[in-house]
Amino acid sequence: MNAVSDTIEIDGSLGEGGGQVLRTALALACVTGRAVRLVNVRAGRAKPGLMRQHRTCVLAAARVAGAAVEGAELGSTQVHFRPGPVVPGVFEFEIGSAGATGLVLQTVLWPLLLADGPSTVRLGGGTHVLAAPTFTFLRDAFLPCLARLGARVELSLLRPGYHPVGGGLVEARIEPAPALARLELDAAPLPKELHAVATVARIGEDVARRELHQLAALLPLHRRALHTRVDREALGPGNVVHVDVPLGDGRHEVFTGFGRRGVPAEEVATELALEVRAFLAARVAVGEHLADQLLLPMALGGGGSFTTTAPSLHTRTNAEVVARFLPVEFRFVDEGAGRHRLTVERR
């Protein structure tokens, strides 16, 4: 067990004050073996403290690292986490709500990648939910970047899950990667043909058709690149629409719109199209959300740099937490015309 003097203290109200502070701190506590005490957990949210998804992150991290934990109750605003050695294996974690399986996975992914054997992680909850990376985004945008770093992770969708019912199942197979490479991604080439997929579960297909019609009016999308998908395996209703941007270097950026009660399909599509257009206009390699998620693996590996749109407060907050655990420096440089460069260097 770590000595008390080795404990890192983190105020969860840091920056945007959300769950990312907790998840990054838990992951790096497991990787470094340093204990962490978090206070004011999710202080920036309307309902502070641990929700089901965040509690599952704490319990999952504790399971893979044999950690002693205090404060892992729903609503808790303080967590003291003292990790032991990370042990690979087969794990199952059930959120018990439509909480994001992708965010729980990203909490345990990094320690398991650096473990001394393969692991399988099965997660139950939401797979396509608002304010979280969807299964589609993780598979098509996130994992290809990890592969460039030398990480071998396979992700399978066993059953989709939408808000508010959840009930989704995802399985990840993780091969150990003792050393992660450097990542360099500069300006992206002009993409080839964009693709859009609108998925509906237990609601009318007309919602998907309206979303695609609006996207085609706002983006360079050919009719053959518009696809409607009916999800018959979901336990509850849901709607999600993805735009896939192939970047010509074997990578894809994936942008997501979520159907919400009371929001017209056309508005969902318009919000999504504006995000895609901003990315295309900036001629950058990485979108806002992927930028946030690449910080930690780059800091654990050989560093590197990439171009992106204006870094969010979420991204800057994540960088601050990572720097509390690892000897790294993050540099954010505005290169003009909506283009920014983010550099990660080991100190």
- Residues with catalytic roles: 314
Apex 152 CA angle, 188 and 327, nearest 5: 75
Strand partners for 165:
none
Tell me how far apart the 2 most distant CA atoms of the chain are, in Å: 62
* CA nearest to 215, candidates 228, 204, 205: 228
- Any idea what DSSP says for residue 163? T
Q: How many whole angstroms separate alpha carbon 22 and alpha carbon 40?
A: 10
d(CA 226, CA 229): 10
Q: Which residues, including other chains, have CB under 8 Å from residue 69's CB and lie 6 or more apart? A: 58, 59, 62, 79, 80, 81, 82
Going from the C-alpha of 298 to that of each of 33, 98, 138, the distances in angstroms are 19, 29, 17
First to last CA, the chain: 27
CB atoms inside a 10 Å sphere around CB 101: 35
Backbone angles phi, psi at 193, to 5 degrees: -60, 125
Q: Judge contact between 326 and 303, C-beta under 8 A.
A: no
